[in-house]
Structure 1
């Protein structure tokens, strides 16, 4: 296990890099974003840094070169005295929010840090592969000779490059990444709350703490918390319906979680454009639309599903702004920047699309929609809140309820439930920003009830990924909308009095203190151990042979490929490639099948060749050379899986310890 001192230095180094990037950009955004420049610079600087490092990787130059523009920008602002202390002091609340949420999530990871179950093998494998060899295309650690041209990998690239720059190894960077995602997302959500609310600006932050009704129901049934938490994310039959509280607590550094900071940043930019477009100068419009294009353009590479949701929303928001300007008599020159957001978003990462090999099976119609009770156990809070605020509208125009009839007659009862508040929000004569957000969120829920994207998940789980990837942005949008409506209602005269500043501060300290204590009393480590930020420390006690072998391999540099045992997904198989980032002949087979298909027959050929490497000494060397494998790993799992029989010549032992032996092809 890495020493506590090294872990503390890793956290400090990581935060220094993140803060340096943010401060370098902050003054450049002040003219166009005003009071929101400081929070926006957290996400914007990270996305710009990512873009620069990605192109460094594309042309295969050191990614450290991406720091040069930030260094120059920082020097420029120092020279022009743009870091006046009196002005920086005014931004303390944004920095405080980032640090509170960063360290809150860091506490959760400290208690449960292990890279040990669910998608964590994949997440760390991608992260470690990028940190070993930060090139574009990144190497696929589970398919020797293959690259990540079949999957969206930019989220891992972001934090892999932060790890490289800050000198933090992947097994700690893994546990610093989600705290960074949550910290930046929280800052942006608070910025949105500040734009939409005069008081109770913190209310939208509850989206990160809100459980779905199913979790409450599971606890009432008497299930243990860990079981209740898991079941609450699998409420709708044969689907995954994650929400932020579950996702961050569960701790997978997966694409749908990484993307949350970018989703919230993009929502912030769209709301800002919608509220202030006519008052912005041309230069500010270009800059903000450029940031929107960067954010939208990053979505296909971070979590492709997001762009399917936010690209149409972008077009609708742009259309609303243009229509509003048209009614005011403004000419086309006042909205040309909006029209350029979608094409610019594609151009920014155009090389990604040129080499992309993945595809979907098209759009299908959902024939087995969600059970309405299960639907409400996931989305019931939002539906209830919206209906409460729409009671007057429903009483005045009950005839609009006819909208649910087609859904009921065709058996789409869950869609009918969501359609009720939707039609009343649409029918409003004057719609606020929370109303518009509610429309978007409800539309997502309805569309997911009617359509799905086809993939290789089979007939039973045909819509699992569609619900999985669409429900997270829907939750974010619906939460911001619902909590903003509640905040507006609370702020009305006579509802909730304004607390004195000292009492407000004391209450905030108390709540934050309780939040930091909770992770230490909630049994979420699944008996893997914790109290460290080293995600691989558990190997020292559970798999000591692998602990030594992995430590040896993680110190190797250069172009290596390894042979290890292959077995089922979501098991301890694929652990060496996952822990080191060194490509194996084959890692988790079903994941690779989902991404690549099996047009060449590799799905059966590679496992058979791996077995022959271990069991047929006459074929060991030739089959290793077939895949350009340089290393052969023999640990407890390999000995249990195969009748290991290796050739007397052609391999040289380079490591041995506690039942693990590693060989290299001689010469």
Structure 2
């Protein structure tokens, strides 16, 4: 796609996001005051998501999701709620969003390819939503199946943004992570502003710092690229990603998409905790409603998050209620808080009624993390907490005994986390960063003790639990520790106030350097870049597929396709992944993890595909069995099967550069 089209795509995408945000912003001003503008970024995305989701459920065009925002914008214009002088004061929030958006866009520009890791899956889901935005979305890797076996809402929101902005999926794929980072950064800066009078930018460091393991890898001789990867595989047989790696690696995966929603809920809980007594009833309902929407969206975006944030929400609400009870406030003032959990379930109730996935339950970890590996992942936060707790440790050293039971039981990593945890719990007065530290450390300890059973096997039994819990833990601990550091720096006599001009010049230098870094680090992994088209690399590496995919992406209607079946994380499943057209079977192990094998499809579907290509007397009958309308024959199919097609029953609809596409006749 031409550079001009890509520039227009970025502009159209940003225009839609700005429209949604500005339409909602005045509605939040009365109760959220100076935080209404930053909060409206993430909140408007979630509201747009639920509106379009119900449109998909009702089989209505998702463009109808723009109607309430249009009416809201017209209403606020009619009431003169957009004062230019007020909007000018919000420039720093917009600037933060744009800096982080374009910083991540630069990373995607350098490495845009939909080519490795989970990118096939991520684009397959995105393309499926954009091709046929219905609820539940069609599973592009299991013809006849739907995504009611997976949490897909993150792909839904960006697919719908692509639809209403007119941006195709291969470019929307590379605009989605910049949006996640931009919206998350605005919200984290708002959190910093809520918690700090100075150094409000410090919590933003959670997006930039690597874990200590990266430096250990470099010191021990690893290259930059291998060190980055190895730093996320530090704890044996687990994945321990952190935001810098996740955004750089570039998978548009559920655990990354969810970051913008996680920080929104943290922001809303801090705001409620800080301003609950000063809020009017209407304001309480509005903010609690947004908290319910955020919490309720978690099971659909990344289900693991709700296991962490639902208890946190209940605990914060309990703290507010307890504080009000001590002040003699009646139960009527708590109703909105109590309503958050049930509302969070009700708003997406149809999702739970359709959901077909399950978990194997909770089990005890019998091979806990090596303590050195644990510190290589979480060492920064543990070190910051212990340094800030030196006074408390000197005053009450006997609390160190809390580590003894964990040590004797063999859970030394849990013992390490338990030491700062007990001192934060023992504080007489708890700031919100203290509470966040307690939550984050508790996550680390629980993950050392327990795991959720899945079908990853005995070797990787903890992989998903550590993977999905460590990202929220990093976010919570990052906000907590850097807010504490900011408060320490701000104490009288510690760090003098820098003049505004010097501060601005320093910020410009830092931002300028960050924009240069993606061009200095080898991020493209030899796939090429300098484009926002995630499929552009096909022109040089798989020219036959490039033209075949281009033809298929222009088809509309209910189509299903036959393509070669092979291993996961390979070039197989590429046609369904690039087009969103459901194949008889895509990456088999992914589908097995989601669906199990109760109907023996794990063997019958690959065998059926093989027969379609190799047994001409069965080709048409088997295609009809799976309601397949198209048959794709490219280099991968010819390498995998002894292709022999029938002389009748199929009509060739496309041929070019070694690729042939057939349709069932009639």
TM-score normalised by L of structure 2: 1.00
Which position in structure 2 is the counterpart of 1:125? 124
Alignment of 1:484-633 (within 5 A): 484-633=483-632
Q: How does 1:85-164 map to 2 (within 5 A)?
A: 85-164=84-163
**Whole-angstrom distance in 2 between the partners of 1:294 and 1:432:** 26
Distance 1:246 1:187 in 2: 20
Alignment of 1:260-271 (within 5 A): 260-271=259-270
1:179 is matched with 178
| Structure 2 residue matching 1:632: 3-state secondary structure | strand
Any idea what the Cα deviations from partners look like across 1:429-453, whole Å, max 9, x if unmatched? 1111111100000000000000011
Cα distance in 2 between the residues matched to 1:569 and 1:548: 24
Q: Give secondary structure in 1 for the equivalent of 2:632.
A: strand
- How far off its partner does 1:401 sit? 1.2
Aligned residue number for residue 295 of structure 1: 294
Task: Measure, in 1, the Cα distance between the counterparts of 2:346 and 2:215.
Answer: 45
How far apart are 1:493 and its partner, in Å? 1.2
Cα distance in 2 for residues equivalent to 1:573 and 1:616: 21
Aligned to 1:460: 459
Partner residue in 2 for 1:357: 356
* Aligned ranges 1:463-482 → 2 under 5 Å: 463-482=462-481
- 2:445 alignment partner in structure 1: 446
Distance in 1 (alpha carbons) for counterparts of 2:453 and 2:173? 31
Asked whether 1:426 is paired with 2:433, we answer no
> What per-residue deviation string (whole Å, max 9, x for no partner) do you get for residues 3-28 of structure 1?
00000000000000000000000000
Query: 1:494 Cα deviation (Å)?
Result: 1.2
Q: Give the aligned partner of residue 36 of structure 1.
A: 35
Number of the residue aligned with 1:312: 311
Structure 2 runs not aligned, ≥5 long: none
**1:512 & 1:63 partners in 2: Cα distance?**
37
> Once the 2 structures are TM-superposed, how far is the Cα of residue 57 of structure 1 from its aligned partner?
0.2
State the secondary structure of the residue aligned to 1:160. helix
**In structure 2, how many angstroms separate the alpha carbons of the residues matched to 1:284 and 1:65?**
27
Distance 1:572 1:225 in 2: 26
What is the CA-CA distance between 1:115 and the residue it aligns to? 0.2
Partner of 2:50: 51
What CA deviation, in whole Å up to 9, does each residue of 1:91-121 have, x standing for no partner? 0000000000000000000000000000000
Which residue is equivalent to 1:26? 25
TM-fit CA distance, 1:264? 0.3
| TM-superposed deviation, 1:223 | 1.2
Residues 67-86 of structure 1 aligned to structure 2 (within 5 Å) = 67-86=66-85
Alignment of 1:192-341 (within 5 A): 192-341=191-340
User: What's the CA shift for 1:484?
Assistant: 0.5
1:337 deviates by: 0.4
Separation of aligned partners in 2, 1:178 and 1:533: 12
CA distance in 1, matches of 2:30, 2:454: 46
Cα drift, residue 332 of structure 1: 0.3
Secondary structure of 1:655's match? strand
Query: 3-state DSSP class of the match of 1:652?
Result: strand
Counterpart Cα distance in 2 of 1:207 and 1:409: 33
In the alignment, structure 1 segments of 5+ residues that lack a partner are: none
2:401 aligns with: 402
**CA deviation map 1:38-94 (0-9, x unaligned):** 000000101000000000000001111111110010011111111110000000000
Give the SS at the match of 2:606: helix
- For 2:398 and 2:136, how far apart are their aligned partners in 1? 56
Structure 2 CA distance for aligned equivalents of residues 478 and 6 of structure 1: 41
Counterpart CA distance in 1 for 2:630 and 2:443 is: 48
Question: Following the alignment from structure 2 to structure 1, what is the Cα–Cα distance between the partners of residues 128 and 493?
Answer: 58
**Per-residue deviation, 1:220:** 1.1
- Aligned-pair CA distance for 1:226: 1.0
Q: Deviations over 1:583-609 (max 9, x none)?
A: 000000000000000010000000000
Q: Secondary structure at the match of 1:424?
A: helix
How far apart, in 1, do the equivalents of 2:368 and 2:277 lie? 43
TM-score where L is the length of structure 1: 1.00
Q: Offset of 1:495 from its aligned partner? A: 1.1
Could you give the per-residue CA deviations for residues 364-395 of structure 1, whole angstroms, max 9, x where no partner exists?
A: 11011000000000000000000001111111
- Aligned pairs for 1:636-647 within 5 A: 636-647=635-646
For the residue of structure 1 that corresponds to 2:637, the secondary structure is: helix
Q: 1:655 is matched with which residue?
A: 654
What SS does structure 1 have at the residue aligned with 2:652?
A: strand
Number of residue pairs aligned between Structure 1 and Structure 2: 666
* Cα distance in 2 between the residues matched to 1:402 and 1:197: 33
Looking at structure 2, the residues matched to 338 and 485 of structure 1 have their Cα atoms a distance apart, in angstroms, of 27
Describe the SS at the equivalent of 1:598: coil
Aligned-partner Cα distance in 1 for 2:288–2:498:
39
3-state SS of the aligned residue for 1:369?
coil
Query: What SS does structure 2 have at the residue aligned with 1:516?
Result: helix
Q: Distance in 2 between matches of 1:317 and 1:494?
A: 33
Alignment partner of 1:61 is 2:60: yes
How far the C-alpha of 1:225 sits from its partner, in A, is: 1.0
- Superposed displacement of residue 497, structure 1: 0.9
Q: Secondary structure of the residue that 1:661 maps to in structure 2?
A: strand
Secondary structure class of the residue paired with 1:654: strand
Shift of 1:580: 0.2
Could you tell me how far 1:224 is from its partner in structure 2?
1.3
1:170 aligns with 2:169: yes
Say which SS state the counterpart of residue 656 (structure 1) adopts: strand
C-alpha deviations, 1:250-306, integer Å up to 9, x for none?
000000000000000000000000111111111100000000000000000000000
Q: CA deviation at 1:402?
A: 1.3
